[in-house]
Chains A and B, each alone.
Chain A
């Protein structure tokens, strides 16, 4: 039973990675990051149930709180990015090019 949960978690995580590295819209990238966080949460919760230990639950709640804070910050950043360039293509923001 646990393998199903873990497989789903890994699949969701890989989807998230794929989204982050392949998509160019900042929103989609952000949502992919959220997906990865939730994939990790699923793993925590599943393992927590398996081992009858509350640590996983606690960590999951913790991740949610962090994700909420990150969402608030990231959305503000995205609004500023849009104000700045009028576009949300990540390739436009390439000032760090060597």
Chain B
């Protein structure tokens, strides 16, 4: 049972229209008079904020319906129809996408508002907001699309926008390289997504290629095709959501302006992979083997990224690896078929990760674009609002009860334990401890102790209100977002899980009270151990470590980037060079060059007749005419 509502299409359309208007305004003022930043700021924020209000409207519209009828659709137009494949530009709002919509537009709007302050004075101010709007619009298409094909439009859109925004400060070639890396790595994942879609169509696509039809026909899917589809789609997810082996682009994505990092990490882009797996839960639920792969890759990514995060010196890199790690948790969650737990972690993570990034941006701006935590210290008194909000974000990330991150992460770990994945649970608990350690390593080094760089410290100042107010709102979100899904053991009703139930195919495991207490106890213990080690080590005055031995190995992320370079990039470059230096000049170019040489020789032979003297040309004419008249008279038999 579905209901049709036309305003659904406007949700992605508003930011996209904003991007168009801002882009045209920016282009028209490229060479001439500048439009004031205020106008750009207001126009840039208008689309996302309006979309947020429409998302709220959608949410309440769904709420007013009975649980099993919560599907709002809108088919804007038929995009293409080829044989069995009939694809509409259609939108679907069900409990899952409406939840995504809510926090994507909410966090996205706050980041837009924050950017007004953060990007002030940038000479490409208008372009920045145009890209930001486009980014959000693409994400909304991804979330709202009613089938894999429409989702893919948004999927590609966020890939493109991440590239544009990561290399936004394109004067610096490093930023451009980081943007390229993000784009290329994402393309590898996209190939998996496309192939997965093709297999899905081959399997069950003939009777309609949108989620609702696919879900209805999912039981026709044979096991081998189902497994192939799941694994290929997951390849796409590893690219977009930065999982092993394609996680390498996300830490480099730090090259972009900080609001972009916040947007990529919190609201748009990286959550897409988790959303996609949850969206296809009706297939994943049939293929437990694929779920195992997803869960193990997720938890191993979480572990690896947590190890990296413990040794980084760049504040944004620490946060970037923490995102990779948290995404690992989400995949572990959806992998053990706890889709609502995974999506709930996406939801809470959006708040505290956006908060941490925006807070980090505030610190970076206060210190005039200093990102090395070993050049900071003692900033607590200088940036009080930033400190307190980041502390809340840090507690949420580290999994301190009762903050948002604790509740959602615990849900995942409990689900892993209850479904019998003890190994995943154990690694998850370990990673929880590491998370607490690296989060508070960052906070202690940056905000506590005494300043390491006295001059920068003296010039530091709190950010303007337009930046701190979003921080405060997000801090409130980080505090209270968890309350949406309090587990029964604490007297809650798991409202998010119940809300999502109509969209997902999952069975809530019943592990019993003992397991639940075990999971919660282990999480809290890990948190306490992690934070106390960090407290012991970093509240006293410590200086930048010398990068040696194991520390250096971890600081350079196990040299994975270098490994990829030598194993994948270098052979390609070698092959390219071989082709350009051997194959092209000697095999393909040779005949072409030879034909040119032939014509040049002919020209040289004939050029002697072109003497340039009019008299000689007259002689040629006489000779020619004589021969002609001779021939004519011969043929006429005179």
Contacts and interface: CB of A to CB of B under 8 A. Distances in A.
Interface residues of B, number: 14
Most buried by A among B607, B609, B613, B616: B613
B610 interface: yes
**Which of B607, B609, B612 counts the most A-chain CB atoms under 10 A from its CB?**
B612
Interface of A: 17, 20-24, 29, 90-91, 93-98
Contact of B615 (A21, A96, A98): A21
A90 B611 CA distance: 12
Contact of B608 (A22, A91, A98): A98
A60 B608 CA distance: 39
Contact of B612 (A17, A23, A96): A96
A11 to B, nearest CB: 16
A30 to B, nearest CB: 11
Contact of A90 (B609, B610, B615): B615
Given A21-B622, A90-B613, 16 more contacts: A17-B618, A20-B618, A21-B615, A24-B615, A29-B615, A90-B614, A90-B615, A91-B613, A94-B611, A94-B612, A96-B612, A97-B611, A98-B606, A98-B607, A98-B610, A98-B611
B619 interface: yes
Nearest to B604: A98
A17 B615 CA distance: 10
Nearest to A26: B614
17 contacts: A20-B615, A21-B615, A21-B616, A21-B618, A21-B622, A23-B615, A90-B615, A93-B614, A94-B613, A96-B612, A97-B610, A97-B612, A98-B607, A98-B608, A98-B609, A98-B610, A98-B612
Contacts of A21: 615-616, 618-619, 622
Interface in B75-129: none
Contacts of A23: 615
Contacts of A29: 614-615
B629 to A, nearest CB: 12
Contacts of A93: 614
Nearest to A95: B612
Interface in B585-638: 606-616, 618-619, 622
Contacts of A22: 615
A19 B611 CA distance: 19
Contacts of A17: 618, 622
Contacts of B611: 94, 97-98
Contacts of B618: 17, 20-21
B610 to A, nearest CB: 3
A71 B403 CA distance: 104
A20 B619 CA distance: 9
Q: Which 6 A-B pairs have the closest CB atoms?
A: A97-B612, A98-B610, A94-B612, A98-B607, A20-B618, A96-B612
A96 B618 CA distance: 14
With most chain A CB atoms within 10 A of its CB, the pick from B610, B612, B614 is: B614
A21 B621 CA distance: 10
A51 B71 CA distance: 104
Nearest to B625: A17
A95 B613 CA distance: 9
